[in-house]
């Protein structure tokens, strides 16, 4: 723990923090061929972290995630990969992770990764080229065991969501579920909600209703011992009822929140208008003037993804050879879904 005050810590960060030389957008383009979606990017204030996720190409119900991060000085970059059953969840019971030695993506044993932005471009290419081998190694070891261990939780989550008959109004879904619970079941669910640290899933509002639905559904449908329904997690036993219940709830909550990784059209969780989201977590630092202008344009027209989230500017390419000149603009939502739009403009006639 640092002995610095908050003001001293802020001054220290401003003095020493540097951006790691890996550009999130470039890395996203390199990883797009492997179906990865950029979900978080922040190289400000010494945070230096970039996250990606994709549905597993080999194991239905698993999701591959990849994190590139660096220290506060932005020196080099390290890579971690993992598989999860609940995108967006933070609990160690729903994900297995591995550190990837730099030797697996083209660096020497004593090389700690990119030092310049030119090095950063090479890093993106090398990492993308190594992705198949990196994840094949992960699936040959921990991931396959995790897939088998989580099978019952994944199946139960499907059963829970089928039972819920979720509509595009989560409050209606909750009221219908609440009417089926006894006072004792409702009290049990409320006790759990009070003691847990709950993920907001990047939502400023309506995240709690997701957890109220999830926990109450768990109380109503749990078929094992009542004592382990919402008990403290026993991480020493990987097959404990507590871990099983926790996994079920994390999957259901992640899916109700429509986290990045789940399909655009989910047969059990319909798309809905998603309001009051936090800003784009995949945007690295302060947006450019172009991004701000397009964001204003998209907001003014309430341009939304099919999943119900607002679209934001990501990048554009100009085709000056067209007449009139055209800009192809890529927009994306916070679930990682992308669209492109063409924008044309004309120059005013010269005054005589």
Annotate 122-138 with DSSP letters as a single string.
HHHHHHHHHHHHHHHHH
3-state secondary structure 193-211: HHHCCCCCCCECCCHHHHH
Count of Cβ atoms closer than 10 Å to residue 272 Cβ: 17
Range list of β-strands (E), the chain: 37-42, 49-55, 63-69, 78-84, 95-100, 312-319, 326-332, 338-344
Cα separation values, 237 from 101, 139, 251, Å: 29, 22, 20
* Model confidence, pTM: 0.92
State the Cα–Cα distance between residues 66 and 98, nearest whole angstrom: 10
Cα separation values, 53 from 15, 37, 101, 311, 331, Å: 33, 5, 20, 19, 18
pLDDT in tens, the chain (352 residues): 567 787 877 788 888 899 999 999 999 999 999 999 999 999 998 899 999 999 999 999 999 999 999 999 998 899 999 999 999 998 889 999 999 999 999 888 777 678 899 999 999 999 999 999 999 999 998 999 999 999 999 999 999 999 999 999 999 999 999 999 999 999 999 999 999 889 999 999 889 999 999 999 999 999 998 888 897 776 667 778 999 999 999 999 999 999 999 999 999 999 999 999 999 999 998 999 999 999 999 999 999 999 999 999 999 998 877 778 888 999 999 999 999 998 886 555 444 3
- The answer to whether 114 and 23 have CB atoms below 8 angstroms apart is no
- The answer to whether 250 and 211 have CB atoms below 8 angstroms apart is no
Tokens for 190?
């409320």
């Amino acid at each position: 723990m640092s002995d610095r005050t908050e003001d001293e810590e802020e001054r220290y960060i401003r003095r020493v923090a540097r951006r790691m030389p890996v550009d999130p957008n470039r890395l996203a383009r390199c990883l797009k061929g492997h179906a990865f979606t950029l979900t978080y990017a922040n190289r400000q204030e010494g945070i230096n972290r970039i996250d990606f996720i994709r549905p597993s190409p080999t194991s239905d119900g698993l999701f591959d995630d990849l994190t590139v991060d660096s220290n506060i000085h932005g020196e080099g970059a390290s890579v971690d990969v993992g598989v999860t059953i609940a995108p967006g969840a933070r609990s160690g019971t729903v994900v297995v992770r591995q550190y990837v030695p730099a030797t697996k993506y083209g660096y020497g044993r004593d090389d700690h990764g990119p030092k310049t932005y030119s090095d950063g471009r090479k890093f993106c290419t090398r990492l993308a080229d190594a992705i198949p081998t990196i994840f094949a190694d992960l699936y040959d070891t921990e991931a396959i065991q995790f897939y088998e261990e989580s099978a019952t939780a994944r199946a139960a989550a499907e059963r829970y969501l089928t039972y819920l008959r979720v509509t595009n109004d989560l409050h209606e879904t909750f009221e219908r579920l609440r009417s089926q619970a006894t006072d004792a079941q409702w009290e049990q669910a409320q006790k759990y909600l009070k003691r847990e640290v709950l993920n907001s899933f990047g939502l400023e509002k309506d995240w709690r209703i997701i957890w109220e639905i999830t926990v109450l559904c768990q109380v109503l449908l749990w078929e094992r011992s009542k004592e382990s329904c919402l008990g403290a997690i026993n991480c020493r036993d990987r097959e404990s009822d507590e871990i099983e219940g926790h996994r079920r709830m994390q999957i259901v909550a992640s899916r109700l929140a429509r986290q990045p990784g789940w399909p655009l059209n989910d047969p059990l969780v319909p798309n809905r208008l998603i309001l009051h989201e936090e800003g784009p977590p995949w945007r690295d630092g302060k947006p450019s003037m172009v991004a701000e202008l397009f964001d204003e344009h998209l907001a003014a027209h309430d341009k939304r993804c099919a999943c119900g989230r607002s679209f934001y500017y990501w990048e554009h390419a100009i085709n000056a050879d067209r007449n009139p000149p055209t800009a192809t603009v890529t927009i994306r939502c916070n679930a990682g879904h992308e669209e492109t739009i063409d924008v044309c403009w004309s120059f005013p006639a010269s005054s005589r």
